[in-house]
Structure 1
Amino acid sequence: MSASNGMFSPEIFQDLQARVDRDVKVREELKDITQELEKNVRVVSFALSKAHSTPVSELSSVLEAAEKPIQKVVESVGKLSASASPLPYYKFNDMWSRKMQDATYGVLLWAWLGGKNEAGDTTNGRLLTIDEVGSILNVPVNLKDEDKFHLTIEEYLQAIISLVEELSRLARNSVTLGDYARPLLISKFVKDLLAGFQVLNLKNDNLRRRSDGLKYRVKDVEDVVYDLALRNLIPKPT
């Protein structure tokens, strides 16, 4: 009997069930990959956490130890990109967005500590651009015209905030190691980032709330530098 007579075909629900089953299968596949990515990101974080207890003169060993885990992260991101790109991006991106933030943060911290750039050079205290991160992770960034996997500006900015939070800890721990120069480098760096965020007109509520907290992390670093100044421990310019 036709739908106009108030009846419906059972095939409607059969079709819906088939679609649900396909989504479940996709989500299970993505879940396995994102769990692998999360595991590899944790290994990177563990390797780089040793920077808090390692003098700058010995930091190369920490950076080298993080290189293979970072490559594992790149491989996991590649798998995720291959599986996710054929899918509607915003239907499933909630499954990997936080993991991509964490992966980006790991790459940013590694580079800031002195990880080698594409030319093989090391520069302490640099911030990778979103395009440089995309190049390292081998994924496109901020796609607007294509509905496929990419690194978003929001994920990159979230990672920068995580970087500032970590550097505020590093400033304190550097003093414990007797390194009085690094807090000054960190202080200038995080102040510049705070100034950059203040220029942005952020629409994402979570991102805006986290960025509002940056001023407290900057103050934490300023307090470290102020304490060094009081104790006359500020290194003289060379």
Structure 2
Amino acid sequence: MKSALRNAYYFTLSRYSLNPNPSLLHIVPFISTFPSLPSVLSRNHPFRSPLCATLMTGGDSDSPQTSPSLEKQFEKFRVQLEDSGSLRERIRAVVLEIESATRLMQASLLLVHQSKPIPEVLQKANSQINVLKDLYNKLAEVVRECPGQYYRYHGDWRSETQMVVSLLAFMHWLETGNLLMHTEAEEKLGLNNSDFALDLEDYLVGVCFMSNEMPRYVVNQVTAGDYDCPRKVLKFLTDLHAAFRMLNLRNDFLRKKFDSMKYDLRRVEEVYYDVKIRGLATTGDSVGDQGAQKI
């Protein structure tokens, strides 16, 4: 009996050793027939691994409990995120309507490049201004539900507002030959309230977008026989570019759009030069001009 237990002990050593003794392998058939081997191996031996001991004992029965304060905090976060998502959906619905009205206005203004009568073009485009004003008032009511959160959601309507300003500025220039002021743009859109106003950078980017239309307008007007248009546009863009030079702009999107203005100015200069050397341009100063084209 003692010999059998000794052989079982040596067999256990051979299983846990990295270099088992081959001389002990001949006792395997004998040990497999030994009836009391499981009870021997089930005793606490120093060769049992900690993992095996943990698995055999069943582990810790106590599961970690969530802290009440932590659960309360994240429940509050959940409610805030759901409210924010619902508000963004409502904002986006209004912005889609603004985008639709802007496309209609832009489609009307494109006719000016085809030498259509300016009063007719402006009449169709002006019909969308009141629509945009109502939509911005509706948007302001939605945003006012979260006081002090204007710039948190501002990105949802930023690009659409910049496009609207560019179209309004172009229309204003066609009517008067002057730049649409920031306060005038706010008045047209009904954004003169302190809690929901026209962002300054949106206005400036919109003005830069408006300047991008000038070279195309000049080329089409010269093609239609208006040889004085390059002079008017050149003076306007020169003054506008000089005014922008007064600003200390960062290296951001607004600065990139301002840099593109000098290329618009250069293209207009080239058209004016071609008209001038051919003797087609009229002489005189553009001061006192009341529009890009007489209405």
TM-score w.r.t. length of structure 1: 0.86
Q: Which residue, 129, 134, 157 being the options, matches 1:70? A: 129
* Cα distance in 1 for residues equivalent to 2:251 and 2:185: 21
* Cα distance in 1 for residues equivalent to 2:192 and 2:199: 9
Q: 2:247 maps to what in 1?
A: 200
For residues 75-100 of structure 1, the C-alpha deviation after alignment (integer angstroms, 9 at most, x for no partner) is: 21111112123330111000011111
Structure 1 runs (4+) deviating above 4 angstroms are none
* Cα distance in 1 for residues equivalent to 2:164 and 2:144: 18
Query: Following superposition of structure 1 onto structure 2, how do residues 25-174 of structure 1 map, counting pairs within 5 Å?
Result: 25-54=86-115, 58-87=117-146, 88-114=149-175, 123=176, 125-140=177-192, 143=194, 148-174=195-221
Contact 2:129 2:188 in 1 (8 A): no
For 2:188, the aligned partner's letter is I
* Cα distance in 1 for residues equivalent to 2:200 and 2:222: 33
Aligned length: 218
* Cα distance in 1 for residues equivalent to 2:100 and 2:251: 27
Contact 1:134 1:140 in 2 (8 A): yes
Secondary structure, aligned partner of 2:226? coil
Give the unaligned 5+ runs of structure 2.
1-64, 286-295
Root-mean-square deviation (Å): 1.8
Contact 1:41 1:70 in 2 (8 A): no
Percent of pairs with identical residues: 29
Q: CA deviation at 1:204?
A: 6.2
For residues 17-38 of structure 1, the C-alpha deviation after alignment (integer angstroms, 9 at most, x for no partner) is: 1111001100000000001101
Which structure would you say has the larger Rg?
2
1:209 aligns with 2:256: yes
TM-score w.r.t. length of structure 2: 0.70
Q: Which residue, 217, 221, 224 being the options, matches 2:271? A: 224
1:175 aligns with 2:222: yes
Secondary structure, aligned partner of 2:245? helix
